[in-house]
């Protein structure tokens, strides 16, 4: 298989929608969307605080994995407007427009198909639910604070701000025609949202109190988390540039430990998909640089994660978490190798993204549990936030 971009994808990208923000819904369709959001608000207000936070983490994890599925199935332009699909609430209501677009592109192998439209819209539906739940969470935190309860509102408000930014990048992903940097930042925005939600979840779990694991564990878990985020960015850069097939074979790249790589072109950030800033097509050497950088830094990130796990294992309370972290890393390495050897099949590729998100969760929990907290704050902890707010529900 060729490591270059699909020719139909490159040719059709520049015939898609104008690079503007499109609010495409008819007033009736927008009203239906609003009714759905009000139902989510109602459910979020009635849900117990602990369950609401856990649901947020679960849905965000799912969204990260489903976002990978959107990218890997080339469904990012399945609905070329935003927030609807050809001005409709669902692809079923836009079937006439979708079939006309399929006809214009010469078949389902182009950017548009009924399947790709549904994949893109399901991703938007889940993202909208997550954003609404975060809005409910922020409102409940502010209300609890105004009633005199000892609720900190900083993290819920940060989550609200971040999900708004993430929504903007989601729209720009479509309206800027899958520009690689925007799509990669959209991926990273989802990962950061997962990290923040997980931190908030840890803060509201009485069984996740900080442990005096020493300075080494505290520093190494944070460095490992940062290294993992860099590695996820590099992996996203591989995916959004369609560079997964640029290197064949393992552990070498196309039979070489020093493959011909154009690092400058590979990491020219602001450009269109498949093209350089001057309009020329991106070269194979640039794609090799993108792929090879991800593989090389995987060694660094793995070493950092193993060092953090070893430091955590010295504390009895953190040994199980350290074991889970190492197991997740081993599975992730195995998935990465299989992607190269099997020519990037869909299911392992989605799982590769999912395990990256799982490792973010595990390292976030490790960073929470190894933080420096005055002993008096966790020797006799106050009732958890979920119990203080339960009276509201």
Q: Within 13 A of 75's CA, how many CA atoms are on the CB side?
A: 21
pLDDT-derived band at 205 (thresholds 50, 70, 90) equals confident
Total number of residues shown for the chain: 393
CA distance 203 to 195: 12
- By CB neighbour count within 10 A (0-12 exposed, 13-18 middle, 19+ buried), where does 44 fall? buried
pTM, to two decimals: 0.85
DSSP state letters, 246-270: SS-SSSSBTTBSS----HHHHT--S
pLDDT at 6 over 70: no
Using the 8-state DSSP alphabet, how is residue 316 labeled? G
- More confidently predicted of 305 and 73: 305
pLDDT at 36 over 70: yes
Is 120 a catalytic site residue? Answer: yes
The single residue of 120, 317, 376, 392 carrying the catalytic annotation is 120
- Contact between 250 and 342 (Cβ < 8 Å): no
CA angle 134, 55, 210 (to 5 degrees): 90
pLDDT-derived band at 374 (thresholds 50, 70, 90) equals low
pLDDT tens digit sequence for 147-174 = 877 777 888 999 999 999 998 888 888 7
pLDDT at 391 over 60: no
pLDDT tens digit sequence for 92-112 = 888 888 998 888 877 777 778
- Contact between 284 and 217 (Cβ < 8 Å): no
């Amino acid at each position: 298989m060729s490591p270059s971009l699909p020719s139909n994808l490159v040719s059709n990208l520049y015939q898609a929608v104008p690079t503007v923000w499109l609010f495409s819904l008819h007033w009736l369709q927008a009203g239906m969307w609003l009714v759905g959001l009000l139902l989510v608000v109602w459910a979020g207000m009635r849900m117990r605080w602990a369950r609401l936070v856990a649901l947020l983490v679960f849905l965000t994890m799912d969204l990260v994995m489903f976002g990978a599925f959107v990218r890997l199935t080339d469904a990012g332009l399945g609905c070329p407007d935003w927030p609807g699909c050809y001005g409709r609430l669902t692809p079923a209501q836009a079937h006439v427009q979708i079939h006309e677009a399929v006809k214009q592109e010469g078949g389902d192998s182009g950017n548009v198909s009924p399947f790709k439209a549904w994949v893109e819209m399901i991703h938007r539906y889940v993202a909208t639910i997550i954003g609404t739940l975060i809005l409910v969470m922020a409102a409940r935190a502010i209300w609890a604070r105004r009633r005199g309860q000892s609720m900190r509102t900083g993290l819920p408000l940060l989550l609200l701000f971040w999900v708004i930014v993430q929504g903007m990048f989601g729209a720009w992903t479509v309206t800027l025609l899958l520009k690689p940097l925007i799509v990669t930042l959209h991926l990273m925005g989802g990962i950061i949202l997962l990290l923040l939600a997980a931190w908030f979840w840890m803060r509201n779990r009485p069984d996740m109190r900080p442990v005096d694991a020493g300075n080494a564990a505290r520093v190494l878990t944070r460095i490992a988390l940062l290294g993992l985020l860099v590695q996820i960015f590099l992996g996203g850069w591989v995916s959004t540039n369609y560079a997964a097939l640029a290197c064949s074979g393992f552990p070498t790249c196309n039979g070489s430990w020093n493959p011909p790589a154009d690092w400058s072109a590979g990491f020219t950030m602001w450009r269109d998909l498949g093209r350089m800033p001057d309009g020329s097509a991106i070269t194979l050497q640039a794609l090799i640089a993108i792929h090879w950088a991800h593989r090389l830094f995987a060694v660094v990130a793995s070493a950092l994660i193993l060092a953090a796990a070893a430091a955590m294992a010295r504390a009895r309370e953190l040994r199980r978490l350290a074991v889970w972290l190492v197991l997740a890393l081993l599975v992730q390495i195995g998935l990465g190798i299989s992607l190269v050897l099997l020519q990037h099949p869909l299911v392992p590729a989605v799982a590769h993204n999912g395990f990256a998100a799982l490792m973010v969760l595990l390292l976030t929990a490790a960073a929470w549990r190894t933080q420096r907290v005055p002993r008096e704050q966790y020797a006799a902890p106050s009732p958890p936030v979920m119990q203080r707010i339960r009276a509201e529900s």
